């Protein structure tokens, strides 16, 4: 088993991931895929010197509406060999409060080092807000199925862009961000 496979398995086996999967799947409308869609070892935080890995597991593609689960994101601590958390990412204009709080003590797991990471986060926050408005307009023009497929594809592109590109796994090429 490679280190990447071991880390992914540790996330899958963690109670926080299992709890989020239960939360997401209990309605019967969401199914979390157990193969990661994004995997990136982050540059160590300058203050804490933590070695962290971001792993994002997708939900199966579906027609979306406000609150539809798109993914579960995990943050794995390499030194402690522990999945710090797992939480859902949902369709809609908002993001997790700690993602926006780029200078908060708990919000230090940036997708890229320094101000590049802060800018990438703020770009993603802005994208998510604008993309939801675009989805609502696309839904009028294309119907829910077409608008959902386009929104999901662009969600993964935007997430890949936030991390610097080239970190997506197990997905169509159209999902990848190209600089």
Q: What is the mean pLDDT of residues 129-152?
A: 97
Tell whether 40 is covered by a domain. yes
Tell whether 39 is covered by a domain. yes
- Tens of pLDDT along 156-167? 999 999 999 999
Q: What's the structural domain count of the chain?
A: 1
E-assigned strand segments in 13-156:
38-41, 52-58, 69-77, 82-90
- % of the chain exceeding 90 in pLDDT: 75
- Tens of pLDDT along 52-111? 999 999 999 999 999 999 999 999 999 999 999 999 999 999 887 777 777 676 666 888
- Alpha-carbon span 110 to 89, nearest angstrom: 16
* Residue with the larger pLDDT of the pair 101 and 1: 1
Write out the residue range of the structural domain in which residue 66 sits: 3-166
Tell whether 72 is covered by a domain. yes
Q: What is the mean pLDDT of residues 141-146?
A: 97
Tell whether 145 is covered by a domain. yes
Whole-structure pTM value: 0.93
Instruction: Note the pLDDT of residue 106.
Output: 66
Measured in whole angstroms, the distance separating CA 177 from the mean position of its chain's CA atoms is 14
Tell whether 172 is covered by a domain. no
Q: How far is CA 53 from CA 70, 79, 110, 113, 119, in A?
A: 20, 11, 11, 13, 20
Instruction: Note the pLDDT of residue 108.
Output: 67
- The b/e string for 2-23 (b: 16+ C-beta within 10 A; e otherwise) is eeeeebbebbbebebbeebbeb
Tell whether 171 is covered by a domain. no
Judge whether residue 7 has pLDDT over 80: yes
- % of the chain exceeding 70 in pLDDT: 96
Q: What is the mean pLDDT of residues 22-32?
A: 92
Judge whether residue 18 has pLDDT over 80: yes
- Helices (DSSP H) in 14-113: which residue ranges? 15-25, 97-100
Tell whether 43 is covered by a domain. yes
| pLDDT interval class at 19 (50, 70, 90) | very high
Instruction: Note the pLDDT of residue 105.
Output: 67
């Amino acid at each position: 088993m490679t280190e990447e496979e071991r880390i992914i398995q540790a996330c899958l086996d963690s109670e926080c991931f299992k709890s989020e999967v239960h939360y997401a799947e209990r309605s019967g409308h969401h199914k979390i895929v157990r193969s990661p869609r994004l995997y990136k070892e982050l540059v160590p935080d300058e203050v804490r010197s933590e070695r962290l890995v971001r792993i994002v597991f997708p939900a199966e593609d579906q027609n979306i509406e406000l609150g539809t689960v798109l993914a579960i994101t995990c943050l794995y601590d390499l030194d402690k060999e522990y999945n710090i958390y797992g939480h859902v990412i949902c369709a809609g204009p908002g993001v997790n409060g700690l993602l926006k709080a780029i200078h908060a003590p708990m919000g230090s797991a940036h997708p890229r080092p320094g101000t590049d990471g802060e800018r990438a986060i703020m770009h993603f926050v802005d994208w998510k807000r604008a993309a939801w408005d675009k989805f609502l307009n696309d839904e009028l023009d294309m119907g829910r199925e077409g608008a959902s497929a386009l929104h999901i594809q662009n969600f993964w592109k935007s997430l890949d862009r936030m991390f610097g590109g080239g970190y997506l796994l197990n997905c169509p090429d159209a999902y990848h961000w190209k600089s």
